[in-house]
Chains A and B, each alone.
Chain A
Amino acid sequence: MKDDELLKDEKVERVLSPHPLSFMRFQSLGIYLVVWGIVFGWIVNMSEWGAAFSGSENFIWALLLWGIGLLLAGVVASLITVRWSIFILYAAIFGSGAGLVFWLGLQDSIGLFAPIYTIFLSIGAFVTIEAYRRSHKYVITNQRITFKGGILVKNERTLRYDKISDLNAKQGIIGQIFGFGTITPISQAGFGLGSDKAEATGGVMLGEKKAKIFGMIGGGKEIQNPMARSYYELHGVHPYKKVKKLVEQLVQGNVITPYQKEQVTFQKEQVDIQKQMRDLLKMQSDSKEGEEPESEENKEKKGS
């Protein structure tokens, strides 16, 4: 954070960025591509089953094998994460690869092309993920947390500690091993909360030809969870425990506790009492000052 971005009396405590392994859910997609590329290359070129996939007459089987490996993994990953985008991504890789094979006439050398293409794409994926990771920057100051992120579109969020109502902390197994974790500050406005929605529907159709009965039943469930975009939370920060403690201390230092509230009220009352006493004393002294000249006049009158 540049000095001109800092507020008055603001001091930077820590500047953080996500751990290189904190985007493993994306990186694992690339790792699978590398593994499948190597395994496919081995099956087609080096294994005992290689003969079944070699030659221009058998290239379609090799293409099918490659596609099945990609699409099956896409379906499994999509079902686990409930995100069809993974399947679409793998389907696009398969589609583009198959298109290139036909367009460039690489039917004879699919055993070489498909592994290289798969590994090449995975390298591209790794580079993109790394660029995305590096775009994240979290600045923890004594007054606020600033979250920044995004490759093309720059996103930024600033959160003052007194506006944080809750802190959610999460550490997966890889995070526990490598010492990183995610801290999601939830603001009083509800920023940092998301919802998981699950829906189930079923339908039945009865009857033949003309008379048909159609019934449908469905249900849904929505659960609110602490979640935010990686550039709106302290995503995969290292060292997790120290950062968590620091944020908690800063929040604690900026949020008034019930005891402190009591103390403030008590002090206010004390100040009010003191003010009243001061006013009374002032009034008394004023009245005394007013009385004193009168008494002198009286004395003069009495003397005359």
Chain B
Amino acid sequence: MEGSPADIVLFAPLAPILGVILFWFIQLLFIESEKFLLDKIRPNHETLCRFTNFLGILFQSICHALGFTITKSGISDFYISVNYGRVAPKKEKKGIFEWIANAFLFVGPFFIPAFLLLICLIFSPVKFEIITPPQLLELKYTFAGQIMTFGTSLHSFAESFFGFLLNIDLFHPGHLGFLLLLIFLGMGIRPSYVGEQKHEKVDMLYDLRNIWSLISHKPLYVVILFFLAYMFFYVSLIFDKILGVNNDWYIAFFILLGWLSIISIASIIIANAILYLIKITDKLEGIWKFIPYITMPLSYLIIRLIFFNILIDYKLFLSLFGMVLCTVIVTYLLLYFKTNKFKTKRVIKKSKKKSKGETDER
């Protein structure tokens, strides 16, 4: 067995945990930017904000309910509204059970919606290949080996997942449905939501404070969790060595969490792009603000029709890329001609004088 005993016994189990924490932080950062955009568009798009709130509360409530179900507390009350969600247990359980249920509430929204999407992806008719770690490389039970396995598996998954996203066929109902689910998921992944009215600062630090208080409140439970993770690693290692197989179940579990993080990050990026488009088009007035939204499907349709009889590779990707490019160009052209964006002060003054002169003549 490669690696020093200290490396195998102490550090190797930590590797995938650190990897997951890293991805989770990236997720938190993207969530923060989404909250910022939602806050910006709130005055003009109250309905959309209410919808995203509802999605956030729905995911939170489902996770909380799942926590109560797993701890066998049962559910006596399940209530969701646009501003508020309430899940009450049938049996009030204290100690570790309460802690697990709360952990599901705070951490669950990061992973559980993405897990549902992963299930959709695997069982849908969409062609999507998942590669497991043993298929990629020989497993090594050291810190470096575990990190490499984790990273390689995530890289292969990200390649496959983003490859699918970039070649999505918007004329395929399955693909279109998946994209819509992805967008909804991206808009809903928030451990804490922006309420109907902003009463307090609910940001990344607020989320972290919540999780930290959960940890600091009962540090023993965290130690138990780490102990269980280490035990899981040793059992997995011994099992593999005895049977002479290459299925590291320990790393597989954390790789799954990493995949979920990648799905979540991708969905939040797409949701952010949509929110950014909404924010930009708010600067346009009248009918002009709808032009980018009309350009999007229209350009896709035209490009697909152009490629209908032309046999080339990557036509799905090119259609998607063409659609995004057309929308971006049209939006920025509109911003340039219809607003004062991208103009120098001199040009603005000149255009003001010109319009004033026209009105005086009249």
Contacts and interface: CB of A to CB of B under 8 A. Distances in A.
Interface string A36-67: 00110010001000000000000000000000
Given A176-B81, A176-B82, A39 B173 contact: yes
Interface string A13-52: 0000000000000000000000000110010001000000
Nearest to A41: B173
Interface string B78-99: 0011110000000000000000
A177 B54 contact: yes
B54 A46 contact: no
Interface residues of A, number: 9
Contacts, number: 25
B289 interface: no
A179 B173 CA distance: 31
Interface string A154-179: 00000000000000000001001111
Contacts of B83: 176
A151 B58 CA distance: 38
A178 B47 contact: yes
Contacts of A176: 50, 54, 81-83
B183 to A, nearest CB: 16
A39 B173 CA distance: 7
Contacts of B356: none
A44 to B, nearest CB: 12
Contacts of B253: none
B123 interface: no
B79 to A, nearest CB: 12
A160 B335 CA distance: 54
Interface in A46-99: 46
A42 B172 contact: yes
A38 B171 CA distance: 10
B30 interface: no
B51 A177 contact: yes
A46 B47 contact: no
Given A178-B47, A179-B47, A42 B173 contact: yes
Interface in B49-102: 50-51, 54, 80-83
Instruction: Determine the interface band of chain B, counting residues with CB < 8 A from chain A.
Output: 10 to 19
Nearest to B52: A177
Nearest to B80: A173
A179 B51 CA distance: 11
Nearest to B49: A177
Contacts of A173: 54, 80-82
A42 B169 CA distance: 12
Contacts of A178: 47, 50
A177 B81 CA distance: 9
Query: Chain A contact residues: over half helix, strand or loop, or mixed?
Result: helix
- Most chain A beta carbons < 10 A, residue from B47, B50, B173: B173
A176 B82 CA distance: 6
Contacts of B172: 42
Contacts of B171: 42, 46
Interface string A172-213: 010011110000000000000000000000000000000000
A303 B47 CA distance: 103
A177 B173 contact: no
Interface string B41-53: 0000011001100
Nearest to B196: A176
A46 B173 CA distance: 11
B191 to A, nearest CB: 21
A20 B29 CA distance: 38
B95 to A, nearest CB: 35
A203 to B, nearest CB: 36
Nearest to A46: B171
B248 to A, nearest CB: 37
A38 B51 CA distance: 26
A179 B54 CA distance: 13
Contacts of A39: 173
A39 B172 CA distance: 9
Contacts of A38: 173
B110 to A, nearest CB: 24
A189 to B, nearest CB: 33
Contact of B82 (A42, A46, A177): A177
A179 B50 CA distance: 9
Contacts of B82: 173, 176-177
A179 B49 CA distance: 12
Contacts of B50: 176-179
Best-buried of A38, A173, A177 by chain B (most CB within 10 Å): A177
Nearest to B58: A173
A111 to B, nearest CB: 15
A173 B82 CA distance: 7
Interface in B27-48: 46-47
A173 B50 CA distance: 10
A173 B47 CA distance: 12
Contacts of A46: 171
A173 B171 CA distance: 30
B285 to A, nearest CB: 23
A39 B47 CA distance: 29
A39 B176 CA distance: 11
Query: Top 7 A-B pairs ranked by shortest CB distance?
Result: A176-B82, A177-B50, A177-B51, A39-B173, A42-B173, A178-B47, A177-B47
9 contacts: A42-B172, A42-B173, A46-B171, A173-B81, A176-B54, A177-B47, A177-B54, A177-B82, A178-B50
Interface of A: 38-39, 42, 46, 173, 176-179
Given A176-B50, A176-B54, 19 more contacts: A38-B173, A39-B173, A42-B171, A42-B172, A42-B173, A173-B80, A173-B81, A173-B82, A176-B81, A176-B82, A176-B83, A177-B47, A177-B50, A177-B51, A177-B82, A178-B50, A179-B46, A179-B47, A179-B50
